[in-house]
Structure 1
Amino acid sequence: MTTYSALTTVPGRDRAEALAEAFERLDPEPVGVGCFEVEDGSGLWEVGGYFTEAPDAIALSLLELAFATAPIVVSEVPDVDWVAKVRRDLAPVEAGRYFVYGSHDADKVPAGRVALLIEAAMAFGTGHHGTTLGCLRALDRLADDGIVPTAVADIGCGTAVLAMAAARTWDAPVIASDIDPVAVEVARANVIANGLAGRVDCVVAGGFDHPDLAARAPFDLVFANILKGPLIELAPAMARHIPEGGFAILSGILNPQADEVAEVYSRAGFNPVHRDEIVDWTTLTLRRSV
């Protein structure tokens, strides 16, 4: 069955949320409405609706005028088995010693590599995105340099691929957290599928705000693959939870944002170790001042 999307952008959160509410009152009614900030520093928000019938062109034109939006673009969404397509199109990811694959590629795992099973359909963080790939490369460099942490945290863990990579690299307790309960359930499923139950614990938390994280601190290594705004807000907490000599691997940072994030962490007591740019995204490896 063909479905339809109607997407536009609008400046400011308040206007975007009001537009999203107006989308919900359209006839035919959308089956879903989304409202997301565009993470490029422009201040724009993307608003979209998804329909099982073609949306009313006149009603969309009225919304454009009422909310001063960019043109609302309507597209047909073909009837595709997206899970099967993703499985076909996403090849395994190699980052140093790490090999991230889906079950459909289990026969391609090379000998002697750290293999991590992540089903591409489950959640963000398969290793294909520049942010996750950058974090895996940063982790690989630390391991090559002989770094051996005694406690690791993965903040905003998504699939928990980074937490699992750390658990496979070192015999250290690892805790993974995410603010999204669904992501945490996915992370727990991945931990079990990779035979790491008992090695990686997963909790629902915003930042470090969980008693299990507090009990395990300090952490010699913390991953935070999130976004610029939350990373900046986390800087003081990072400084409290990482001891002198410990490392932070930060990503979810667009290339033009990297200097600002690095400066905020410098003021919090972190020194730059490495910067890795992959397409539009930067990964920062930082060390707590000694």
Structure 2
Amino acid sequence: MLVYTLSGTLQSREAELHLLWEAGATGLEERGGVIRAYFDAPAELALGGEWVSEPDTDWLSAWKKDLRPVTAGRFTIAPSWLSGEVPPGQMPLLIDPGMAFGTGHHVTTRLAVEAISALDVAGLKVLDVGSGSGVLALAAALGGAAEVTGLDIDPVTLPAAYENAELNGLPYRAGAFVTPGGSLRFEEGTLDPEMDEAPAYTLLIANLYAELHDLLAPSYRAVLLPGSPVILTGILQDKLPLVREALAREGFGDVIETLEGEWALITARSS
């Protein structure tokens, strides 16, 4: 078995992960600050990593064996094969691991689901920027939001997001999933800071790295109705000043920071 090892975390090198999939990776995992990409054959990669040959093993089965449900506020995030382990009174959020990640086991995902859980999302129109596996969009949708859109620039994520919506029992009709409060759809694309967007959303969620939050902050403001909350995560603590300054620049207020380990989540409100 061939393993391509790369220093860093899945979150910190998120922008490069698609290169591993495009080169033929069959799976990725993170161990102690090292990304491990599994390949059936060597590939051309210029990411500064190293190739390692290891004895063949069913790495996916071994990883699945160690995967446990994660409590995040009123949600319990679990893979489908552990749905029976969701405690009574908790809302199941079923996410199977795959090419788009977002199982809820990364601290940034869990913090974001906890922040969604703490809000009354009933009736809100929600935009999830960089939706990946759909976990945050699904949390908002299952929590009762009226309309949820998951937006991701990488088309590889869309099949995983659709599969996870189906895992949670959401029927698909007329181009969207039917949810307890309304509808959920996933789209390929991104916010364009060069475009003038019409305010339309009443909650924006984004699990991206700090530099993207800085770039997209004008678009966050543009698409949100005044007084609407934002939930931003994927932020390394040493990059917090960059995001703070971007939110201040765009007139966001009520800024609250939640810190855990090396990561941070910020909630704020549009002006």
Task: State TM-score, norm by structure 2.
Answer: 0.76
Looking at structure 1, the residues matched to 5 and 139 of structure 2 have their Cα atoms a distance apart, in angstroms, of 39
Looking at structure 2, the residues matched to 254 and 6 of structure 1 have their Cα atoms a distance apart, in angstroms, of 22
2:146 counterpart residue number = 172
For structure 1, the 5+ residue unaligned runs are 10-16, 25-29, 36-45, 51-74
Matches within 5 A, 1:95-114: 95-114=72-91
1:242 deviates by: 0.8
Match of 1:204 among 174, 178, 188: 188
Q: Does 1:138 align with 2:115?
A: yes
Answer whether contact 1:5 1:48 (CA < 8 A) is retained: yes
1:217 deviates by: 5.0
Over residues 72-91 of structure 1, what are the superposed CA-to-partner deviations in whole Å (9 max), with x where a residue is unaligned?
Answer: xxx44342222212211121
1:282 counterpart residue number = 264
Answer whether contact 2:80 2:167 (CA < 8 A) is retained: no
Answer whether contact 2:83 2:92 (CA < 8 A) is retained: no
Percent of pairs with identical residues: 33
1:43 counterpart residue number = none
1:80 counterpart residue number = 57
Looking at structure 2, the residues matched to 6 and 87 of structure 1 have their Cα atoms a distance apart, in angstroms, of 20
Looking at structure 1, the residues matched to 142 and 228 of structure 2 have their Cα atoms a distance apart, in angstroms, of 19
Q: Does 1:47 align with 2:79?
A: no
Looking at structure 1, the residues matched to 71 and 118 of structure 2 have their Cα atoms a distance apart, in angstroms, of 14
Looking at structure 1, the residues matched to 166 and 219 of structure 2 have their Cα atoms a distance apart, in angstroms, of 29
1:161 counterpart residue number = 135
1:131 deviates by: 1.0
SS of residue matched to 2:163: helix
Q: Aligned-residue CA RMSD in angstroms?
A: 2.8
Aligned length: 231
Answer whether contact 2:252 2:268 (CA < 8 A) is retained: yes
Looking at structure 2, the residues matched to 116 and 261 of structure 1 have their Cα atoms a distance apart, in angstroms, of 29
Query: CA, structure 1 residues 107+266, in 2 after alignment: closer, same or farther (shift >3 Å)?
Result: same
Looking at structure 2, the residues matched to 106 and 193 of structure 1 have their Cα atoms a distance apart, in angstroms, of 10
Over residues 88-115 of structure 1, what are the superposed CA-to-partner deviations in whole Å (9 max), with x where a residue is unaligned?
Answer: 1121110110100012212201222111
Structure number, greater radius of gyration = 1
SS of residue matched to 1:186: helix
SS of residue matched to 2:178: coil
1:8 deviates by: 7.5
Looking at structure 2, the residues matched to 83 and 6 of structure 1 have their Cα atoms a distance apart, in angstroms, of 17
Match of 1:94 among 54, 71, 80: 71
Matches within 5 A, 1:32-71: 32-35=43-46, 46-48=47-49, 50=51
For structure 2, the 5+ residue unaligned runs are 9-15, 24-40, 171-176
Q: Does 1:126 align with 2:103?
A: yes
Over residues 148-205 of structure 1, what are the superposed CA-to-partner deviations in whole Å (9 max), with x where a residue is unaligned?
Answer: 4520011100111110110111241101011110112211111122122234100000
SS of residue matched to 1:121: coil
Looking at structure 1, the residues matched to 216 and 248 of structure 2 have their Cα atoms a distance apart, in angstroms, of 13
Looking at structure 2, the residues matched to 195 and 271 of structure 1 have their Cα atoms a distance apart, in angstroms, of 37
1:3 deviates by: 2.5
**Which has a greater percent of helix?**
1
Query: CA, structure 1 residues 216+158, in 2 after alignment: closer, same or farther (shift >3 Å)?
Result: farther
Looking at structure 2, the residues matched to 247 and 149 of structure 1 have their Cα atoms a distance apart, in angstroms, of 14
The one-letter code sitting in structure 2 at the alignment partner of 1:206 is T
Answer whether contact 1:154 1:224 (CA < 8 A) is retained: yes
Answer whether contact 2:100 2:156 (CA < 8 A) is retained: no
Match of 2:228 among 246, 253, 256: 246
1:34 deviates by: 3.9
Answer whether contact 1:83 1:121 (CA < 8 A) is retained: no
